[in-house]
Each structure stands twice: as structure tokens, then as C-alpha cells.
């Protein structure tokens, strides 16, 4: 408290906010039976978040809306069938809490739970539900090593469980510019990004329908780069984009 006494009001507020955020993260790791958003005790059949927070989830329902905001991100850039995201990403909202814990706090259970929610939304929604393969946007292997898991893989696990569609994890590989064997013109096209994707067809020969999955979509550049890599190997492929959250501006 002596330390706090020597701080300005602004730094005190920042410091206390920092402590409380850190504390909440620790609580959530020690007690996964607390709501991952508001830290209330989970009761009955509640999973990950409490009934109150679940009712407040900012669902987009984009899977029911052709021409939705996620699809507009890709218009004029790349061919695709449909695109959707489960949640709106609002700063300091429930989605941010969930994604933060999923990506940086080891809460792998949140990823599979979100994936199951996506799966339940997409059941019976064509063309999403009759894809041949679910394909996660891969992490670069160095990031996979440091994080220990790919959060998008976890979303895919949950989706695959509900939709009963196989996951194809070895198809796409994320490479840094200096590692890639991709043709130079593609390098030129993607000169603004540090990482690129390579597709290894992996024995798939038909014209597949892919569900290409990422955790959060912002500019769409990552998914677009993945789709281009897929089209390189499968010119007749049909691609649908599915994300956990849509960060709109
Ligand atoms: Zn809650």
C-alpha cells in the first residue's frame, strides 16, 4: 500500500485493473467450474459460462443470412460459397474474455465448447453442413510449439464432433516468406504479410467442399491466403469460411 500511495490516480487505477485481470485469469485456471466470463459458480448443466452470460452471448446468426457482414469482407476478393462467424467480438465483452482465455490462458475446453456451439448452429444449414472436410487455419510450427496447441484446431474438434465431418489438419502449412517454395508471383501478391500458406493435397483427388475455420476474423487476409493455397491444389474446390468471432469496425 505504501507503493500505491506514491502512485498517481491514473497509475493506481491501471495497476489495480491489471491485478484484478490477473487475479480473474488465475481463478479461472484454478476453478474451471466458475463462469469463464463473470466468475459466478457454474451450477447444474452449465458449461464454460453461466446461464446469464450464455443468454448475453452476442450471436451473429450469420449462417442464416446470405450477404452477411463476414461475406462482404470477401466480396470481390475470392470465390467462396458462404461465410459465417458465431459471435461478434466486442472489446471487453464476453467474446473477448472467452477468446483471451482460449488463446493465452490454456483454456482448451473453451475452444471445443465454442466449436460444438458452431456445429449445432450449422447442422441442417447448407452448404456448411455437407462439407467433406473441416480445415483449420494452421499456426506456424514455432508458435504451435510455444503455445502448445492451436486454438482453431480445438474449434474444429467441437465442430467435427457435432457435424460428423472429418478434420484435415495436414493440408495447409503456414510458412514464413523465407521458407516458402511458392511461386514468386504469389509472394508479390502477399508482400504485406510475413506468413504464407502452402497446400499439400495429401491424397485428396476429388473436388472437395471445405469448411475453412479460423478463431477470429478481422480483415479476412489470413482466410483469403488459405483459400488461395487450397485453390492452387484444388481448382474445383468449394470453400466456406467459418469463424469463432467477427471483429468488426
Ligand atoms: Zn457468467
- The alpha carbon of 29 and the centre of ligand 1 are apart by a number of angstroms equal to 15
- Boundaries of every domain in the chain: 57-246
- The alpha carbon of 43 and the centre of ligand 1 are apart by a number of angstroms equal to 11
- Say what the pLDDT of residue 177 is: 63
- The alpha carbon of 39 and the centre of ligand 1 are apart by a number of angstroms equal to 6
- Say what the pLDDT of residue 31 is: 60
pLDDT band at 42 (very low <50, low <70, confident <90, very high): very high
Is it true that domain 57-246 has CATH number 2.60.40?
Answer: no
- The alpha carbon of 198 and the centre of ligand 1 are apart by a number of angstroms equal to 40
- Comparing CA positions, the residue from 51, 50, 111, 52 lying closest to residue 86 is 111
DSSP 171: S
Range with the lowest mean pLDDT among 20-29, 46-55, 147-156?
20-29
Q: If you average pLDDT over residues 87-94, what whole number do you get? A: 90
Q: What is the largest CA-CA distance in the chain?
A: 69
User: Can you spell out the DSSP letters for 93-120?
Assistant: SHHHHHHHHHHHS--HHHHHHHHHHHHH
Q: For residue 137, is pLDDT > 70?
A: yes
Average pLDDT over all residues of the chain:
87
Q: If you average pLDDT over residues 131-150, what whole number do you get? A: 94
Greater confidence, 26 or 143?
Answer: 143
Residue-wise pLDDT tens digits, 208-242: 999 999 999 999 999 999 999 999 999 999 999 99
Phi and psi at residue 120, to the nearest 5°: -65, -35
- Comparing CA positions, the residue from 57, 72, 89, 51 lying closest to residue 243 is 89
pTM: 0.83
pLDDT band at 161 (very low <50, low <70, confident <90, very high): very high
Amino acid at each position: 500500500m505504501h507503493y500505491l500511495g506514491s502512485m498517481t490516480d491514473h497509475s493506481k487505477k491501471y495497476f489495480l485493473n491489471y491485478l484484478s485481470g490477473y487475479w480473474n485469469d488465475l481463478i479461472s485456471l484454478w476453478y474451471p467450474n466458475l463462469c469463464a466470463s463473470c466468475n459466478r459458480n457454474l451450477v447444474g448443466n452449465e458449461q464454460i459460462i453461466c446461464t446469464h452470460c450464455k443468454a448475453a452471448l452476442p450471436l451473429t446468426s450469420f449462417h442464416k443470412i446470405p450477404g452477411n457482414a463476414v461475406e462482404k469482407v470477401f466480396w470481390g476478393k475470392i470465390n467462396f460459397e458462404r461465410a459465417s462467424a458465431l459471435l461478434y467480438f466486442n472489446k471487453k465483452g464476453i467474446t473477448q474474455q472467452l477468446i483471451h482465455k482460449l488463446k493465452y490462458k490454456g483454456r482448451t475446453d473453451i475452444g471445443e465448447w465454442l466449436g460444438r456451439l458452431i456445429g449445432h448452429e450449422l447442422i441442417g444449414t447448407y452448404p456448411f453442413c455437407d462439407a467433406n472436410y473441416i480445415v483449420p487455419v494452421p499456426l506456424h510450427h514455432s508458435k504451435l510449439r510455444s503455445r502448445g496447441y492451436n486454438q482453431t484446431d480445438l474449434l474444429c474438434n467441437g465442430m467435427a464432433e457435432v457435424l460428423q465431418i472429418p478434420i484435415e489438419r495436414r493440408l495447409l502449412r503456414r510458412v514464413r516468406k523465407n521458407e516458402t517454395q511458392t511461386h514468386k508471383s504469389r509472394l508479390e501478391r502477399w508482400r504485406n504479410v510475413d506468413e504464407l500458406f502452402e497446400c499439400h493435397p495429401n491424397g485428396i483427388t476429388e473436388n472437395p467442399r471445405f469448411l475453412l475455420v479460423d478463431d477470429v476474423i478481422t480483415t479476412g487476409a489470413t482466410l483469403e491466403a488459405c483459400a488461395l493455397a487450397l485453390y492452387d491444389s484444388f481448382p474445383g474446390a468449394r470453400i466456406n469460411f467459418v469463424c469463432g468471432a467477427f471483429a468488426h469496425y
